[in-house]
């Protein structure tokens, strides 16, 4: 093999290795794409939507009420193995008391203003105080969401990141603010 050809192949190989490493680092530490498989977050997110979840916010800041988060479900959720990540909205933080009465969600005895909610939940939920290091999450489609009301809180270390942009379908591309 000619020296110029060998040098060119080495340069190409090095470029490919660097590109793969950068993609891995970006996906692992900065942002990752996710697909919405269920109706639990409707009307905010529809089945088939694709979005990016950014992972830096919680490395440098705190989870906030109303954040849409992707997380690894706790063992108490007993979800099928293929559902290794779930997406829900943060309703309550450590120290907050959450309850549901007559279809209204209350956090610390204050009714939540939830313009994103598909419909009011039909079941009541007795007052529950979120323990340190945990968050209470619910889907926006309250009557079609398997969430903290059924399996408890999510450890904060299970939260992978915050949903920040829907990139597909293209005609619904948008930022995902609270």
Distance CA 39, CA 31 (A): 23
Please pick, among 7, 8, 40, 174, the residue that the annotation labels catalytic: 40
The reported pLDDT for the residue numbered 105 is 94
Of 88, 145, 148, 162, the active-site residue reads: 88
pTM across the whole model: 0.84
Look at the block and give the residue holding tokens 């954040």. Answer: 67
C-alpha count within 13 angstroms, C-beta hemisphere, residue 149: 21
SS3 53: strand
Query: Does the annotation mark 78 as catalytic?
Result: no
pLDDT of 126 strictly over 70 = yes
In this predicted structure, the answer to whether residue 178 has a pLDDT above a threshold of 70 is no
Spatial distance between the Cα atoms of 79 and 82, rounded to a whole number of angstroms = 8
Catalytic: 40?
yes
Find, among 160, 172, 170, 177, the residue nearest to 34 by Cα: 160
What percent of the chain is predicted at pLDDT more than 90? 56
CATH of 32-175, one of 1.10.10.10, 3.40.50.720, 3.40.190.10, 2.10.109.10: 2.10.109.10
Q: Is residue 103 within a helix (H) or strand (E), and if so which, with residue range?
A: none
């Amino acid at each position: 093999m000619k020296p110029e050809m060998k040098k060119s192949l080495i340069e190409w190989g090095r470029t490919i290795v660097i590109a793969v490493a950068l993609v891995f680092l970006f996906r692992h530490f900065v942002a990752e794409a996710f697909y919405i498989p269920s109706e639990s977050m409707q009307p905010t997110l529809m089945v088939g939507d694709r979005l990016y979840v950014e992972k830096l916010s919680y490395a440098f800041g705190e989870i906030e009420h109303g954040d849409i988060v992707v997380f690894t479900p706790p063992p108490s959720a007993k979800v099928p193995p293929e559902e290794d990540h779930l997406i829900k909205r943060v309703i309550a933080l450590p120290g907050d008391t959450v309850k549901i009465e007559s279809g209204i969600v209350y956090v610390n005895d204050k009714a939540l203003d939830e313009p994103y909610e598909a419909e009011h939940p039909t079941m009541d939920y007795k007052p529950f105080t979120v323990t340190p290091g945990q968050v209470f999450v619910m889907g926006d489609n309250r009557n079609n969401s398997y969430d903290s009301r059924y399996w408890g809180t999510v450890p904060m270390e299970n939260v992978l990141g915050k949903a920040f942009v829907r990139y597909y379908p293209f005609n619904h591309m948008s930022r995902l603010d609270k």
